[in-house]
């Protein structure tokens, strides 16, 4: 069982919290304006990308040694045509620069909230893909998800966050253009 703190109680914060609770973990939330204290070993930033950057900038000490899960899809929401992070980087790598002593994991950005709630993408089990330079952090996340109803795949090092964010971006544009549903998307067959 892991102690998990989730920043943000919106669509993703609630869906991820329910998944972790089913996995037998202890979940607490920090909503906007809450004092940052009593953080669990795993900290999920279930907030928009600019807010994730603000949280990282404001809390470098509190986040030392924590497994920090970045779930953001850093779109330019004015154009829906590009990401706001440098083309050779990712939101997760930008957060890593601000929190060099945390174990950053990119995860959950390719699973729409509805597919976490249903545990299904079409007929397939929903799969969380995770990228991190910390094998220990990925193992902890996999363990926390073991009995949660969603599957886990190790997607490689933190460099793969770039690909996960491209994947998430494409999936969002497909849903926005009604080519796929917000309760659908890409599935992973093991």
Ligand X SMILES: NC(=O)c1ccc[n+]([C@@H]2O[C@H](COP(=O)([O-])OP(=O)(O)OC[C@H]3O[C@@H](n4cnc5c(N)ncnc54)[C@H](OP(=O)(O)O)[C@@H]3O)[C@@H](O)[C@H]2O)c1
CB of 154 to ligand X, least distance (A): 19
Question: Binder to ligand X among 109, 126, 127, 132 (CB under 6 A)?
Answer: 109
Please check whether residue 65 is in contact with residue 88, taking contact to mean a CB–CB distance below 8 angstroms. no
Site residues for ligand X, 7-26, by CB under 6 A, read 7-13
* Number of residues binding to ligand X, judged by CB under 6 A: 24
**Residue 59 interacts with ligand X (CB under 6 A): yes or no:** no
Residue 176 binds to ligand X (criterion: CB under 6 A): no
Contact between 120 and ligand X by CB under 6 A: the answer reads: no
Three-state SS annotation for the chain: CCEEEEECCCHHHHHHHHHHHHCCCEEEEECCCCCCCCCCCEEEECCCHHHHHHHHHHCCCCCCCCEEEECCCCECCCCCCCECCCCCCCHHHHHHHHCCCCEEEECCCCCCHHHHHHCEECCEECEEEEEECCHHHHHHHHHHHCCCCCEEEEEECHHHHHHHHHHHHHHHHHHHCCCCCCCCCCCCCC
Could you tell me the smallest distance in angstroms from the CB atom of residue 32 to ligand X? 4
Least Å distance, CB 48 to ligand X, is 5
Contact flag: residue 153 with ligand X (CB under 6 A):
no
For position 60 contacting ligand X by CB under 6 A, the verdict is no
Tokens 């914060």 -> residue: 13
Residue 13: CB minimum distance to ligand X, A: 6
Of residues 31-50, those binding ligand X (CB under 6 A): 31-32, 46-49
Give the residue closest to ligand X by C-beta: 10
Pick from 182, 169, 16: nearest CA to 79: 169
Q: Which is nearer to ligand X, 1 or 62 (CB)?
A: 62
Place of tokens 């990925």: 138
- In the complex, the smallest distance separating the C-beta of residue 116 from ligand X, rounded to whole angstroms, is 8
Residues lying near ligand X in the complex (CB under 6 A):
7-13, 30-32, 46-49, 51, 54-55, 71-73, 108-109, 112-113
């Amino acid at each position: 069982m892991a102690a998990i703190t989730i920043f943000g109680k919106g669509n993703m914060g609630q869906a991820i919290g329910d998944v972790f609770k089913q996995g037998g973990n202890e979940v607490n939330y920090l909503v906007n304006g809450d004092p940052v204290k009593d953080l669990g070993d795993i900290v999920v930033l279930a907030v928009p990308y600019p807010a994730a950057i603000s949280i990282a900038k404001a809390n470098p000490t509190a986040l030392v040694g924590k497994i920090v899960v970045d779930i953001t899809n850093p779109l330019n929401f004015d154009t829906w045509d590009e990401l706001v992070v440098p083309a050779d980087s990712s939101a997760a790598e930008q957060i890593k620069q601000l929190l060099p002593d945390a174990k950053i994991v990119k995860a959950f950005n390719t699973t729409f909230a509805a597919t976490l709630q249903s545990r299904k993408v079409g007929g397939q089990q929903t799969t969380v893909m995770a990228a991190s330079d910390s094998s220990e952090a990925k193992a902890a996340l996999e363990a926390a998800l073991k009995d949660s109803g969603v599957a886990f795949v190790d997607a490689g090092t933190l460099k793969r966050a770039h690909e996960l964010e491209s994947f998430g971006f494409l999936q969002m544009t497909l849903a926005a253009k009604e080519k796929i549903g917000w309760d659908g998307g890409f599935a992973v067959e093991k």
